[in-house]
Amino acid sequence: MYIKRLIEKTIINTLKAFPVVILTGARQSGKTTLLKHLFSDTFNYISLDELDIRSLAINDPREFLTRFNAPLIIDEIQNAPQLLPYIKAVIDKERVNGRFIITGSQQFPLMKNISESLAGRVAILNLYPFMIEEITGNYLTEEKSMDNFFKKISSQKISTSPKINLGRWLLGGGYPGLFVNSQISRNIWFSSYIQTYIDRDIRGNIKNENLNDFERFFKLLASRTAQELSYSNLSRDIGLSVPTIKSWISLLQTNSIIYLLQPYYKNFGKRIIKSPKLYFLDTGLAAYLVGIQTKEHLLNGPMGGALFETFVVTNFLKRFSALDTNISLYYWKNIGGIEVDLLIEYSSKLIPIEIKLASTIYNNHYKSLLRWIYYSKLDIDFALIASNSPVTGKIAKNIYNCNWYNI
């Protein structure tokens, strides 16, 4: 079963403007399935996971590019980065857009080689696990402006027969291989995924004697999703140096496992918290790492709010990334405790968003929004609460509720 991805149109349009398109993303995010679905009739496909093909690409790259003609999809380029200078030579000899689509999961070495070999010739796109819009089929890509998008998601009524419930979504997450096959054991899938990730993407970047420490760190980090990132606190709790913690955070970030949401501090002086907030890019992976086994445990337990916030923040990130929009995401918090969970900046506008797992919205749920609007002295005519409440629309002056299903 193929599920339409929001990034499809962006990939097609980008191929018209660049000779090479790189599609990166975490392992198992659906890169190969997406590209085969879109281009099986127009592109040749080759995978560098196959040993004989990889050997040819490494040992005789010219023969490789002669044997496998463009337009060509080259899957898992990190297995043979030696190909990149030869792809550059082919492009420079005859610059034609849309000749190569290249995928890669391990972004550290991949990005280094791309920047050296294909600068000015390549567009880089990132594919994340499923977002809720792809699961519900509630695509809002035709909205002509961001203003209309926000108004629509805050006014659209909730389906009486939803395709997925909140507990199932947060517990399972959006990795396609797990989501589309209900027969797969969640525990076995995530256990295998983590082991594969460590073996293929981590082992070559850290010392073998630190692998057990990395697994402990990985689980500890999952318990900190939707929290401010403190390297010193993590260093103390895990018993490792701050430089080691920073390098491992960077490794997870570049491999699309976590996302760091930066603080918004323009024009607010020195009383603003300036540490980023950390989010796992898939709630299912985070829930598994902290040992959550049931929907009830997730929604009613101590991490329910954090995982719900993780879902909302990263879902906006995935959507805007897929549509190649010029939009920035931030959070805001001052030392007095006033906090806005998410700020979306576009066209010189700011949309403040408060995220609440609650199914009923009361005045105190948007108190921080009102205080921030007053404190910021900005002309804010639209603020949003993202919640589990089925009642959408205006709930106070300039404040609207949006159910998670519509995000």
Q: What is the mean pLDDT of residues 355-372?
A: 92
CB 344 within 8 A of CB 316: yes
Q: At what angle do helices 107-117 and 242-254 cross, to 10 degrees?
A: 70
Which tens digits make up the pLDDT trace of 302-338? 999 999 999 999 999 999 999 888 899 999 988 777 8
CB 367 within 8 A of CB 341: no
For residue 22, the cross-strand partners are 102, 124
Which residues touch 282 (CB under 8 Å, ≥6 apart)? Answer: 26, 129, 173, 174, 175, 314
Spatial distance between the Cα atoms of 307 and 330, rounded to a whole number of angstroms: 18
pTM of the model: 0.94
Tell me the domain boundaries of the chain. Answer: 8-126, 137-406
Residue 199 pLDDT:
81
Which tens digits make up the pLDDT trace of 202-260? 877 787 668 889 999 999 999 999 999 999 999 999 999 999 999 999 999 988 999 99
* pLDDT exceeds cutoff 90 at 120: no
Spatial distance between the Cα atoms of 259 and 104, rounded to a whole number of angstroms: 18
State the CATH class of domain 8-126: alpha beta
> Picking from 104-113, 122-131, 154-163, which range would have the lowest pLDDT averaged per residue?
104-113
